[in-house]
Amino acid sequence: MHRFAALFRNLLEPVDMSIKHWKRALFILSLGLVLGIVPAHGQHHGDITHDSVPAPAEAIAHAGHEADHGHQDQGFNAGEMITEHILDAHEWHIADIGKLHLTVPLPVILWDRDEGQLVSFCSGKFHHGHESYRGYMLAHEGPNKGKIVKVLPGTMEQDMDAALPLDFSFTKNVLGIFVSIIILLVVFISAARRYARHPGAPKGLQSVLEPLILFIRDDIVIPSIGEKRYMRYMPFLLTLFFFIFLNNLLGLVPIFPGGANVTGNIAVTMVLALFTFVITSFSGNKAYWMHIVNAPGVPWWLKIPVPLMPIVELIGVFTKPFVLMVRLFANITAGHIIMLGFISLIFIFGEMHAALGYGVSVISIAFSIFMYLLELLVAFIQAYVFTLLSALYFGMATEEHAHEH
Amino acid sequence: MELVSPGIGLIFWMSLAFGLVLFVLGKYAWKPILKALKEREQSIDDALHAADKAREEMQQLKFDNEKLLAEAKEERDVILREARKLREKLLEDSRLKANEEANRILDAARESIENEKMAALTELKNQLASLSIEIAEKILKQRLADDPRQQALVETLMKDVRFN
């Protein structure tokens, strides 16, 4: 953990400095991650050759997985591969090159409900899920597949009587979130400094961001909320838009530290939707709540004696953020699945015959490229839609109804 | 199932991270950026307004200038006209005066000429008279140079007296 603490201290520091330092921050990030791999794999197998080789380049590489990775011998499993890419993980699997597994182990943080204590260790201790550590392991099957469960001592069996530990691990998606946040902070704070120092015409980074900021302000927020109150919601909506947009784009980057399916994770979209929900509820004025309780323009028998409309309206309050959550999650996940599916086709056919694989690859790649372009569009559209709908909900909550009904 | 069941860990980290970035960006990025954008728009707006105003003022100034110029021209014309009138009047006056003077001089000249003429005539008459008297005297002297002639004259005169 201390390694990561130091890492993030190093990373967060440059945020306060000028833009010159962000390159250094990225360098520290990559260096830290590469070095971070070292000890994890040193402990990996107890293989003397690897433990005795201290050179990082050698240590990153670790061999001898055939026995562990039994499933790899069973051939290519598209479903498993896609699921692995879509889901969150306790380690960041970068690539397999022959017998070399490039993985960034991440810290596991658990709240053990039985013992009432916080447990944290490196996910490398699980050895890609093949070993247990301190009584915990990664479940391979069953209803808790992919989760960290308690094991019966001395076995690799789940202890069904023990409560599931609450998993607060710093997972792949968490790292993805932090990477995107660092990018956001560096980019926008440096842009803000430029704005403060040079109030003239925009230049460089500013001229890229400014049209987007103005687009959000003039075409999304002001028309939805109105000139009078829009400034209160600008920070949230701007952050929301750029967070989603950046993570959508980073999700399309296949190389580390991109590729984490952040906005295609339901927990992430849920938090975003919850923010919108909470802000909407707290900014709701009297008219907004009255509209829910006593919707105007509706026949009275829909409200009394059975409060049908209020129930419908109340459900609507919750379905709005729910739909926000699902829409973003489903769009991004579906895009990833389709693209990975196209790529998988190459390997599926390649296993039948090498020539077939090459043949299919032409079509697959063509389709993937098409999908990639489409996903770039979707990345923007989904960020736009989420922001627009959030703005509309805020607008509805703060709208001052003229008593025309 | 894992795909659609949000994990508590990620919810926690995401809330923390998003809350953090919202706070930091809100304070250090959006505020100055939005402020700067607003200020710039305001300054552009102001500049446009100022330009409009300046144009209007220019127009007004030009209009005023034209008016002033027209007025000045008018005034000049009036002054010129008056001057011309005055000049003409002056000329006229002086001509009249000159004429009068000339006439007066002429009259005076004429009068004096007349006077001179009269004086000359009188002189001439006087001289002629004295000359005539002299001549007459001389003739008389000659005629009455001797006694018979005197006698004769006396007789003649006497005759005339008698007739009277």
Q: What is the pLDDT of residues A252-271, one digit of tens each?
A: 988 887 888 899 999 999 99
Count residue pairs from A and B with Cβ separation < 8 A: 128
SS (H, E, C) B8-37: HHHHHHHHHHHHHHHHHHHHHHHHHHHHHH
A188–B14: do the CB atoms touch at under 8 Å? no
Q: Where are the alpha helices (DSSP H) in A69-171?
A: 70-73, 78-86
Which residues of chain A from 312 to 351 reach within 8 Å of chain B, CB to CB?
Answer: 333
- The CA-to-CA distance between both ends of chain A, in Å, stands at 60
> In whole angstroms, what is the distance from residue A317 CA to residue A310 CA?
11
Residue of B5, B8, B33 to mutate for A, most A C-beta atoms under 10 A: B33
Give the mean pLDDT of B49-74: 92
Q: Is residue B129 part of a domain?
A: yes
> In whole angstroms, what is the distance from residue A207 CA to residue A377 CA?
20
Q: Is residue B157 part of a domain?
A: no
Burial class (CB in 10 A: 0-12, 13-18, 19+), A121: middle
A146–B5: do the CB atoms touch at under 8 Å? no
Are B157 and B144 within 8 A, CB to CB?
no
Span A152-193, pLDDT tens digits = 877 777 777 788 888 888 889 999 999 999 999 999 999 998
> In whole angstroms, what is the distance from residue B25 CA to residue A189 CA?
7
pLDDT cut 70: percent of chain A above it: 80
Q: Where are the alpha helices (DSSP H) in chain B?
A: 8-25, 31-143, 147-163
> In whole angstroms, what is the distance from residue A108 CA to residue A91 CA?
9
- If we measure between CA atoms, which residue out of A137, A395, A190, A205 comes closest to residue A284? A395
Binning chain A into helix, strand and coil, the percentages to the nearest 5 are: 60, 10, 30
Tell me if residue A133 falls in helix, strand or coil.
Answer: strand
Q: Is the pLDDT of residue A59 over 50?
A: no
Q: Is residue B161 part of a domain?
A: no
Note the pLDDT of residue B14: 92
Pairing of the two strands A107-112 and A117-122 = antiparallel
Q: Is residue B123 part of a domain?
A: yes
Of A193, A266, A275, the CB nearest to B6: A266
Which residues of chain A from 240 to 279 reach within 8 Å of chain B, CB to CB?
Answer: 243, 265-268, 270-272, 274-275
Are A185 and B25 within 8 A, CB to CB?
yes
Whole-angstrom CA distances from B94 to A38, B80, B106 are 125, 20, 17
Span A66-115, pLDDT tens digits = 334 434 456 788 888 888 888 888 888 888 788 788 888 888 888 888 88
> In whole angstroms, what is the distance from residue A134 CA to residue A139 CA?
15
Span A119-164, pLDDT tens digits = 888 888 888 777 888 888 888 777 777 788 888 877 777 777 788 8
Side-chain half-sphere CA neighbours of A44 within 13 A: 26
Note the pLDDT of residue A14: 39
Tell me the shortest Cα–Cα distance from A342 to chain B, in angstroms.
20
User: What is the per-residue DSSP string for B122-133?
Assistant: HHHHHHHHHHHH
A270–B36: do the CB atoms touch at under 8 Å? no
Residue of A170, A189, A214 to mutate for B, most B C-beta atoms under 10 A: A189
Span B98-147, pLDDT tens digits = 888 888 888 888 888 888 888 888 888 888 888 888 888 888 777 777 78
User: What is the per-residue DSSP string for A159-193?
Assistant: -TTSPPPEE----HHHHHHHHHHHHHHHHHHHHHH
Structural domain for B29, as ranges: 8-151
Q: Is residue B90 part of a domain?
A: yes
What residues have CB less than 8 Å from B129, skipping those under 6 apart?
none
Are B30 and A234 within 8 A, CB to CB?
yes
Amino acid at position A20, single letter: K
Chain B residues whose CB is inside 8 A of the A239 CB are 18, 21-22, 25-26, 30
Of A145, A184, A217, the CB nearest to B21: A184
Of A86, A87, A167, the CB nearest to B8: A167
The 10 Å Cβ neighbour count of residue A60 is: 19
What residues have CB less than 8 Å from A256, skipping those under 6 apart?
A33, A92, A94, A104
Tell me if residue A148 falls in helix, strand or coil.
Answer: strand
Q: Is the pLDDT of residue A2 over 60?
A: no
Chain B residues whose CB is inside 8 A of the A145 CB are 2
**Among A61-75, A299-313, A365-379, the range of highest mean pLDDT:** A365-379
Element at A94 (helix H, strand E)? strand A91-97
Question: With a cut of 0.90, is the ipTM above it?
Answer: no
Looking at the DSSP bridge assignments, the partners of residue A93 are A103
Q: Is residue B164 part of a domain?
A: no
Tokens 């499933």 correspond to A71
User: What is the per-residue DSSP string for A257-312?
Assistant: TS---STTSHHHHHHHHHHHHHHHHHH--HHHHHHHHS-TTS-GGGTSSS-HHHHH
Give how many domains chain B has, as a whole number: 1
Of B21, B29, B43, the CB nearest to A181: B21
> In whole angstroms, what is the distance from residue A186 CA to residue A197 CA?
16
Of A177, A188, A192, the CB nearest to B17: A177
Q: Considering the entire predicted model, what is its pTM?
A: 0.71
B contact set with A (CB within 8 A):
1-15, 17-18, 20-22, 24-26, 28-37, 39-40, 43
Tell me the shortest Cα–Cα distance from B50 to chain A, in angstroms.
18
What residues have CB less than 8 Å from B133, skipping those under 6 apart?
none
Of A238, A270, A275, the CB nearest to B6: A270
Domain boundaries, chain A: 2-171, 173-398
Give the mean pLDDT of A314-329: 94
Residue A260's φ and ψ, nearest 5 degrees, are -75, 135
